[in-house]
Amino acid sequence: MRPRLVVLIAAAVAVFAAALPLAQMKPWNNAGLSGPPSGPAGPAPRRDLSGTWDAGNAGIQPTGHVAAPFTPRGEQMAKANKPGNGSRLVSVNDDNDPLSTMGDPTGFPRIVLYELRPFQIVQTSNQVLILYMFEKRWRVIWTDGRALPTNPDPRWYGYSVGRWIDDSTLVVNSVGTDDRTWIDNAGNPHSNSLRVEERYHRVNQRTMELTVTLDDPVVYTKPWVAVDKLQINLMPNGSDLMEMIPSASEAAAYRRVIASQAKTK
Amino acid sequence: MRNIIVAVSIAALGVPLVSVSLMAHHGAAALDTGKEITLKGTVTEWIWSNPHCFLQFDAKDDTGNVRNWAVETQNPTAMTQRGWSRTSFKAGDEVTVTLEPVRNGQPIGRLLTVVLPNGEKLVAATATSAP
C-alpha cells in the first residue's frame, strides 16, 4: 500500500474514533440534572432565557403551598376540594383531585407550582415558548406588546404576555385561567379572576431565579408569593427530556391496583 | 456490581432516598409508618408508569397461602435517576422484597428494596419515619 494512502486511512479512522465518544455523550431520555452546577459561571446573555432548565427537587411541591387567608368564598371553594395531600388531606376514597383522579390537565399555575420538572424555553421574535417535560405541555407567552384580554374565555393554561423590565428579567403576567384546576396538591382553589405574575431573572449564564405571585381577590384576602427566587439551572445543550405524561389509563391502573386497595375506611 | 452502581449513582446525584412525592396521590396516612416486612416471591408484573411505578409479585403468607402483592415506587423519572428502568424486572424473576405495608392488611405497600436472584440490590426508598 502506498504510504500516502496509509496516512489517509489512518486519518479517517482517527476522525471516526474521535467522533464516536462525542456521539455517545448525547443520551436520550434525560430525567433532569444530577445536581447543581459547579465552577465559574459566565455572564447572563442579554434578554435570553433560551435553553433547557431544571429546578431539581426544589421545583416539586407534593404537599402544596401555604396560601394567604381565604375570603368567605375562598373558604367555600376550598371545602369542595378534597386533596390527597397537604393540611386538608382526605382519605383516598374521598380524594377528588381533578388531575390525579380524573386525568384533567394540570393547568396553570399548578404546572409551575406543583410539578416544575425540566422545561425548555424557546424564544422567537414575538413569543417566549415554555415546553414542559411534565405532561409534555407548552405555554405561549406573547412578547409583542399586546395587552392581556379582558373578560377572556377561561383556558386550562390561561393567557400570558411578557415584557423585559431589564436585560436579565422577564416578567410574565397571566389571566383567564380555568377555575376547575387547583393551584397545588393541597387543593388550594382559584377563581377565573386569578392574576399571576412570574418573574424570570437570569442571574448568570447557567442560573435563573423564578418568583411567582398570585392575586385572586375572590379567593384570597391578599396577594401572596407562592414561589420566591426558586433557583433553576441550565441543562447541557442537547438534553433530550423524558416523557412524563400522567395518562388517564395509567392513572386508572394505579388507582385500581394500589390506591383503592390502600384505603383506610 | 449493579447495586454498587445504583448506590454510587444515588450518592453522586444527591437524590434523597426519602421521596418528596411518594404517596402524593393518596397520602402516607394509609401506610403503617415505620413498619417493614421482607418477603420472598415471584414477579408477576412490573408496571413502569405514572403517577407511580409498581411491582406485583406472588409471595406466601405465614399460613402458606399465596398472595399477590402490589408495591409502589415513584414515577419513572425519579426511578431513572436512581438507576431503575423499564426492564429492571420481568415476570418470573425470583426476588426478595422489603416493603412498608398499608395499615388495612391488604397486600399493598411501598417498595423499599429488592434483592434480585444474583444478589444485586435495588434501593427505592427508606421507610417512613414513625411519628
Residue B96 burial class via C-beta count within 10 angstroms: exposed 0-12, middle 13-18, buried 19 and up: middle
Predicted local distance difference test score (pLDDT) of residue A102:
86
Residues A141-147 have a mean pLDDT of 98
In a mutational test of the A interface, the residue from B5, B25, B31 whose CB has the highest number of chain A CBs within 10 Å is B25
Query: Among A35, A89, A245, whose Cβ lies nearest the Cβ of B27?
Result: A89
Global pTM value: 0.84
Give the pLDDT confidence score for residue B19 in this predicted structure: 36
Is there a contact between A253 and B49 if contact means CB atoms under 8 Å apart? Answer: yes
Q: What is the pLDDT of residue B17?
A: 35
In chain B, residues with a C-beta closer than 8 Å to the C-beta of A62 are 20-21, 24
Contacts of B93 (CB under 8 A, 6+ apart): B42, B43, B116, B117
Angle at A104 (CA atoms; ends A100, A106), nearest 5 degrees: 80
SS3 B4: helix
Least confident span in A19-23, A41-45, A84-88:
A19-23
B-contacting residues in A 103-142 (Cβ below 8 Å): 117, 133
CA distance A124 to A44: 18
Cross-chain residue pair B102–A262, CB shorter than 8 Å: yes
Share of chain A above pLDDT 70, in %: 89
Name which of A72-86, A143-157, A210-224, B7-21 the model is least confident about.
Answer: B7-21
Environment class of residue A177 by beta-carbon count within 10 Å: exposed (0-12), middle (13-18) or buried (19+)? buried
CB contact under 8 A, B51 and A246: yes
Q: A38 in contact with B at a CB cutoff of 8 Å?
A: no
Predicted local confidence at residue A265, as pLDDT: 53
| Cβ-Cβ contacts under 8 Å for B6 (sequence gap 6 or more) | B82, B83, B84, B121, B122, B123
> With an 8 Å Cβ cutoff, are B26 and A262 in contact?
yes
Q: Do A31 and B102 touch (CB under 8 A)?
A: no
Contacts of A251 in chain B (CB under 8 A): 50-51
Query: Given an 8 Å threshold on Cβ–Cβ distance, is B47 in contact with A60?
Result: no
CB contact under 8 A, B81 and A244: no
What residue ranges in B6-130 does DSSP mark as E strands?
A: 37-47, 54-60, 66-72, 94-101, 108-115, 121-123
Using CA atoms, how far residue A63 sits from A140, A151, A189, A247, B65, in Å, is 28, 32, 14, 21, 38
Rounded mean pLDDT, A154-175: 98
List, for residues B9-46, the tens digit of each pLDDT value: 333 333 333 333 334 455 555 666 679 999 999 999 99
Residue from A258, A260, A263, A264 whose CB has the most chain B CBs within 10 Å, to mutate: A258
3-state secondary structure A173-219: EEECECCCCCCCCCCCCCCCCCEEEEEEEECCCCEEEEEEEEECCCC
Tens digits of per-residue pLDDT, A25-77? Answer: 678 999 999 888 888 899 999 999 999 999 999 999 999 999 999 999 999 99
- A62 vs B20: CB contact, 8 Å cut-off? yes
Q: Which amino acid is at A67?
A: A
Flag whether residue A88 sits within 8 Å of chain B, measured between CB atoms: no
